[in-house]
Structure 1
Amino acid sequence: MTYISIGLRRYVEERASHCCEYCLQPADLSFFPHEVDHIVAVKHRGTTDADNLAFACWRCNRYKGTDLGSFDPQTGAFSFLFNPRTQQWSFHFALEDARIVGLTPEGRTTANLLQFNSEERLAERRRASSSS
C-alpha cells in the first residue's frame, strides 16, 4: 500500500468538494468512508501526487481497481476510463433522474465498469435527492 500524507488526502478531498469524483456521491451520505484513488495505479507507474489522485467512494474505487480502461458497451471498442484530473464530468456524463448516462466512450465505459446504475446505487441517489 502506498503512503499518502494527511495533508495530501485533505487537499484531494477538499478539491473534490467532499464528493466522489466518478459518481458524485457526497461523502457525508455514504455508509463507508470515501477513499483517495490513484487514477493511474502505482503498478502502472502512476505517481502519488495531486495530479494522479481522485476522491472516490468505496464502490467506485473497488469497481475501478487498477483498471485504466475497458470496452465501450455501445461500440465494443476499447476506451480509457474517465479521468477526473484531465476531463470535465459534464462533458462525459449526464444525470437523468437518478441515472448517470455516459455521453462519450469514456463516459459509457466508466459508467458500465464502475456500475453507476446498479439498483443499489440508483436507490442511494433517489434517497439523496428526496432528502435535499
Structure 2
Amino acid sequence: MSKTYISLALRRLVTERANDQCEYCRLPANLSFFPHELDHIIAEKHGGQTISENLALTCWRCNRHKGSDLGSFDLHTKEFCFLFNPRTQSWSEHFSLSHHHIEGLTPEGRTTVKLLQLNTSERIAERKRLTP
C-alpha cells in the first residue's frame, strides 16, 4: 500500500495542535532522536481518512507499536477495548504520570499503555532523563 500524501499545511496543523509532542506518550519532538510522525488514528486499511480529525502526532516508538491496530484486550476487564483516541478523548482522563511511569486510568488508557509499550525500561529511562 502506498503512503497517502499529507500536505504541509495539514502537517503543520496536526503538529501545532499536539503542541509538538507525541499525543500518546507526550515525548516532545525537539527531544526525540527521530522525527515525530503523523499517524492515522484509524488506519487507512480500516477506512480511516487522511483528515485532521483522524491524524495524531506520534513519536516513532508509539507509531511502530500502534501500527494499524485499533484496540486490544484490557488486562483488568479482559474485554476488547479501543485504544485512546487523541481527537475525541482527553489524555488526563485516561492517563497519569507517576514516577516516570504512564499509568492507564481507564480501559482505553490501560490498553494503550500495554499495546504501545509505554513503560518499557528504555521509555522510563528516557522520561527520567527528560524530567528535571
**TM-score higher than 0.5 here?**
yes
**2:33 maps to which of 31, 39, 54:** 31
1:88 match: 90
Cα deviation for residue 73 of structure 1 reads 1.6
In the TM superposition, what are the counterparts of 1:20-99 in structure 2 within 5 Å? 20-99=22-101
Which letter maps to 2:25?
A: C
Secondary structure of 1:37 counterpart:
strand
Cα deviation for residue 25 of structure 1 reads 0.5
Q: Percent identity?
A: 65
**1:122 maps to which of 121, 124, 127:** 124
Which letter maps to 2:32?
A: S
Write the distance in 2 (CA, Å) between the matches of 1:72 and 1:12: 28
Per the normalisation by structure 2, the TM-score is 0.97
Moved over 4 A (4+): none
**1:8 maps to which of 4, 7, 10:** 10
Cα deviation for residue 97 of structure 1 reads 1.5
**Structure 1 unaligned regions, length at least 5:** none
Cα deviation for residue 75 of structure 1 reads 2.1
Q: Cα RMSD (Å) of the superposition?
A: 0.6
Cα deviation for residue 76 of structure 1 reads 1.5
Secondary structure of 2:131 counterpart:
helix
1:109-131 CA distances to partner (integer Å, 9 max, x unpaired)? 0000000000000000000002x
Secondary structure of 1:87 counterpart:
coil
Write the distance in 2 (CA, Å) between the matches of 1:33 and 1:61: 11
Which letter maps to 1:91?
A: E
Write the distance in 2 (CA, Å) between the matches of 1:29 and 1:112: 23
